[in-house]
């Protein structure tokens, strides 16, 4: 290993390794001291690879043998035991509203920004999560446990494959280092990848302290690097708010259409790029319950499935409030937030029309869609399975559609709805086989259900990472039939209902 000779990189991160032909740019690190603290990751003992994402590695332009090159350098780097030349590790400071209450200063308490790579698809930042104490760790230990790191890794890659804007995940590494939660667990690190990790909370931080120059700096940075089209507008900061509003509305529509619950939609967990970020106690719906709360710590159900759109808008208001010193007129900020409802409802109608296999998106279809969702909610029909089965709907008069019908308890209500649906499809001359192909490209067969993650985590705790890797393979092709893997598309087992996922990660 080409590390400096003073100590083993296994024990300390005081080292820089020759970077394997990677070009780092690190624009965020040019922002200045108010925005971050530069520091190194804290090393862990005996790191090992849990899983890596070949898709994410390809995105970064890493060579196929990247995990093994130069005597396993990458393992040391992505467990926080070494750095590649050109990396500029730092923890950024932000604030935020947690569960609707102003929480003051937060920041990267266990994450470390490593640097920014120039890739064929544009610059991408890399970030370690679980890399030890930072000035923003507050009461925490700066670590992440194996369980939550596996969940974040798998869901990041799964969401990307589902077509949802998200931060990506390159790898998970594990260490036997003990980490205390409700019980003693072990440490792991996940390496996240995104064009930027800037959150709403970054803006709230400087606004709350009346640091308007710094606020302007990060807003300008965001405009110049990620929203250059807003620069041309008469009011660039209002245009930025509107662009974030539109992206966020569209992202939440993606979540709703997949039955995804984020679980902790605090403003510090909202990406300025409209990416899904900070996977914690997330969950995909099994039986459809609009009031489903996936986060065991969310007593009030603030982040219940059906509330996600309105919480997103609430969070955008917090961002608007933070940007107000730059925008000037409250009316301009409100006007920038205004498109949320129409963008969200149009996106929902488009997603759900596609899920029903309708060629056209028409306002009157809202009734047909709503009635279907109401039926699903009444019968707690499995969200993913029902939509997937809908693809095999037969529009012939008198067809029985038993496979789908079986997913409902109120059969007469289903039959009545099915007649309307068949009628609507016939109206637009829908061809069953063609429509099925289209529907199978938007209604996934595989999502990261909690019980699947739990089973992979249980094995991983015994040192067997094969199920994590297998799940990744399945979830990177969620729309494929994958006939060899029927159990991963099946109804959840009874014990899945008892799984509790909380913020403690």
* Binding interface with ligand AMP (CB under 6 A): 106-110, 136-137, 140-143, 264, 268-269, 278, 280, 503
Q: Count residues contacting Mg ion (CB under 5 A)?
A: 2
Give the active site residue among 108, 254, 268, 278.
268
Judged by CB, which is closer to ligand AMP: 278, or 286? 278
Residue 103's SS3 state is: strand
Closest approach, Cβ 185 to Mg ion, in A, equals 19
Considering CB distances under 5 to 8 angstroms, the limit depending on partner class, which of ligand AMP, Mg ion, none binds residue 204?
Answer: none
CA 213 to chain centre: 31
Structure tokens at 149: 């790191």
What radius of gyration, in Å, describes the C-alpha atoms of the chain? Answer: 23
In the stretch 217-256, what mask flags binding to Mg ion with x, by CB under 5 A?
A: ----------------------------------------
Residue 112's SS3 state is: strand
Structure tokens at 214: 């710094």
Closest approach, Cβ 175 to Mg ion, in A, equals 22
Considering CB distances under 5 to 8 angstroms, the limit depending on partner class, which of Mg ion, ligand AMP, none binds residue 286?
Answer: none
Judged by CB, which is closer to ligand AMP: 227, or 279? 279
Closest approach, Cβ 185 to ligand AMP, in A, equals 11
Query: Is the C-alpha dihedral spanning 99, 104, 107, 109 positive or negative?
Result: negative
State yes or no: residue 204 binds Mg ion (CB under 5 A). no
Considering CB distances under 5 to 8 angstroms, the limit depending on partner class, which of ligand AMP, Mg ion, none binds residue 192?
Answer: none
DSSP letter for each residue of 201-246: HHHHHHHHTT-HHHHHHHHHHHHHHH-HHHHTSSSHHHHHHHHHHH
Judged by CB, which is closer to ligand AMP: 22, or 90? 90
Burial class (CB in 10 A: 0-12, 13-18, 19+), 41: buried
Structure tokens at 56: 């994410």
Judged by CB, which is closer to ligand AMP: 49, or 282? 282
Please, what is the Cα angle at 261 between 260 and 263, to 5 degrees? 155
Judged by CB, which is closer to ligand AMP: 47, or 142? 142
Considering CB distances under 5 to 8 angstroms, the limit depending on partner class, which of ligand AMP, Mg ion, none binds residue 425?
Answer: none
Judged by CB, which is closer to ligand AMP: 459, or 504? 504
| Stretch of 12-20, 70-78, 93-101, 262-270 contacting Mg ion, by CB under 5 A | 262-270
Judged by CB, which is closer to Mg ion: 496, or 503? 503
> Which 267-296 positions form the footprint of Mg ion (CB under 5 A)?
269, 278
Which residue in the block uniquely carries the two structure tokens 């862990």? 44
Burial class (CB in 10 A: 0-12, 13-18, 19+), 127: buried
Cβ neighbours of residue 214 closer than 8 Å, sequence gap 6 or more: 32, 34, 35, 206
Closest approach, Cβ 268 to Mg ion, in A, equals 5
DSSP letter for 1, please.
-
Closest approach, Cβ 239 to ligand AMP, in A, equals 28
Which residue in the block uniquely carries the two structure tokens 């064009």? 195
Closest approach, Cβ 179 to ligand AMP, in A, equals 8
Residue 247's SS3 state is: helix
Rounded distance between C-alpha atoms, residue 453 and residue 447, angstroms = 10
**Nearest residue by C-beta to Mg ion?**
278
Catalytic status, residue 268: yes
Considering CB distances under 5 to 8 angstroms, the limit depending on partner class, which of ligand AMP, Mg ion, none binds residue 174?
Answer: none
Cβ neighbours of residue 284 closer than 8 Å, sequence gap 6 or more: 258, 259, 260, 261, 383, 384, 447, 448, 449, 450
Closest approach, Cβ 348 to ligand AMP, in A, equals 26
End-to-end CA distance of the chain: 33
- Contacts to Mg ion by CB under 5 A: 269, 278
Q: Which positions are annotated as active-site residues?
A: 268
């Amino acid at each position: 290993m080409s590390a400096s000779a003073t100590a083993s990189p296994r024990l300390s991160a005081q080292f820089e390794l020759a970077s394997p032909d990677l070009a780092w740019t690190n624009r965020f690190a040019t922002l200045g001291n108010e925005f971050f603290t530069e520091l190194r990751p804290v090393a862990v003992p005996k790191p090992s690879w849990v899983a890596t994402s070949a898709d994410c590695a390809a995105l970064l332009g890493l060579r196929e043998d990247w995990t093994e090159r130069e005597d396993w350098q990458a393992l040391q780097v992505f467990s926080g035991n070494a750095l590649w030349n050109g990396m500029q590790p730092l923890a950024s400071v932000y604030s935020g509203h947690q569960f609707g209450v102003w929480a003051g200063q937060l920041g990267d308490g266990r994450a470390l920004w490593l640097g920014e790579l120039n890739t064929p698809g544009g610059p991408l930042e890399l970030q370690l999560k679980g890399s030890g104490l930072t000035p923003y760790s507050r009461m925490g230990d700066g670590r992440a446990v194996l369980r939550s790191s596996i969940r974040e890794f798998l869901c990041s890659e799964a969401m990307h494959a589902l077509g949802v804007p998200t931060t990506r995940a390159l790898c998970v590494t594990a260490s036997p280092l003990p980490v205390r939660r409700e019980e003693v667990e072990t440490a792991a690190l996940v390496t996240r990848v995104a064009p930027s990790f800037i959150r709403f909370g970054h803006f709230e931080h400087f606004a709350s302290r009346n640091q308007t120059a710094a606020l302007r700096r990060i807003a300008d940075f965001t405009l110049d690097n990620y929203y250059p089209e807003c620069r041309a507008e008469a009011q660039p900061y209002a245009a930025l708010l509107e662009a974030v509003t539109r992206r966020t509305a569209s992202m939440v529509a993606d979540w709703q259409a997949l039955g995804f619950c984020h679980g902790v939609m605090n403003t510090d967990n909202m990406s300025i790029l409209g990416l899904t970020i900070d996977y914690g106690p997330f969950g995909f719906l099994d039986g459809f319950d609009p009031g489903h709360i996936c986060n065991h710590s969310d007593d009030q159900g603030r982040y219940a499935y059906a509330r996600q759109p309105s919480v997103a808008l609430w969070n955008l208001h917090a961002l608007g409030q933070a940007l107000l010193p730059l925008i000037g007129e409250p009316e301009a900020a409100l006007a920038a937030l205004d498109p949320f409802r129409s963008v969200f409802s149009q996106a929902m109608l488009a997603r759900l029309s596609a899920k029903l296999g309708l060629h056209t998106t028409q306002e009157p279809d809202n009734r047909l869609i709503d009635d279907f969702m109401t039926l699903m909610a009444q019968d707690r029909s499995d969200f993913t399975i029902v939509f997937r089965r809908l693809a095999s709907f037969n529009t012939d008069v008198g067809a029985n559609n038993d496979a789908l019908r079986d997913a409902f308890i109120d059969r007469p209500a289903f039959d009545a709805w099915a007649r309307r649906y068949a009628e609507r499809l016939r109206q637009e001359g829908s061809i069953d086989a063609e429509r099925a192909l289209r529907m199978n490209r938007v209604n996934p067969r595989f999502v990261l259900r909690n019980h699947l993650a739990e089973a992979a985590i249980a094995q991983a705790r015994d040192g067997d990472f094969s199920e994590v890797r297998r799940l990744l393979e399945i979830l990177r092709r969620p729309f494929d039939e994958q006939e060899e893997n029927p159990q991963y598309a099946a109804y959840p087992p009874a014990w899945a209902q008892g799984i509790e996922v909380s913020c403690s990660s």
